[in-house]
Amino acid sequence: MPFMIGKAPIRRTLKYLEAGRLILKDQIKIMAVHYHLQGENNKGTKEFVFWYLPQVQYKNPDVQIATFKNLTPSPFIRCFYETGHEMLIDVDGKSKEEIYQHLIKVVGKTKEVLEAESISKEKKDNPANFGVGCDRHCICELPGQIPCPSVVPLPMHMRGKYKYKKD
């Protein structure tokens, strides 16, 4: 496989890309990582860009992610919001895991928000779903369906206790 050639080819596998946990908030539109290639204080940022940035890009397709190398002596991450505000995150001297955990805590969506989005997305995606959180409360709202048994009783031949009654 040609995509398995190069430095750390595991970064290009779909399983690795889907394993990312950093899903940025909806208000963030641009994320810029500024770092220098030399220096001990930039080591964690270089490794973060190498290992975690592909996952962040894969999980956030609507966010523009830019890296700026050798422009500043100290590394930092700048996030731009759609309102025009920006947030500077100091990553000087931190390891790649510390940077990743800090970004999840500061600019990432919380677990509760992610769970609520996944539940609502699953229910809203399929028009056949009905119940709490869906477009329809009951299947009886669709044309051609039998009305709710609580409103109009079912005919005797459609009730299980009469249909399967042993004489």
What is the pTM for the complete model shown? 0.69
pLDDT tens-place string over residues 135-162? 777 888 888 888 887 788 888 887 788 7
What is the distance between the terminal CA atoms of the chain, rounded to a whole angstrom? 68
For the chain, give every domain's residue range.
2-109, 116-163
Looking at 2.40.50.140, 3.40.30.10, 3.40.50.300, 3.40.50.10310, the CATH number of the domain 2-109 comes to 3.40.30.10
Q: Give the pLDDT score at 143.
A: 83
Q: What is the pLDDT of residues 54-93, one digit of tens each?
A: 999 999 999 999 999 999 999 999 999 999 999 999 999 9
Give the pLDDT score at 121: 65
Burial code (b: 16+ CB inside 10 Å, e: under 16) for 144-161 equals: eeeeeeeeeeeeeeeeee
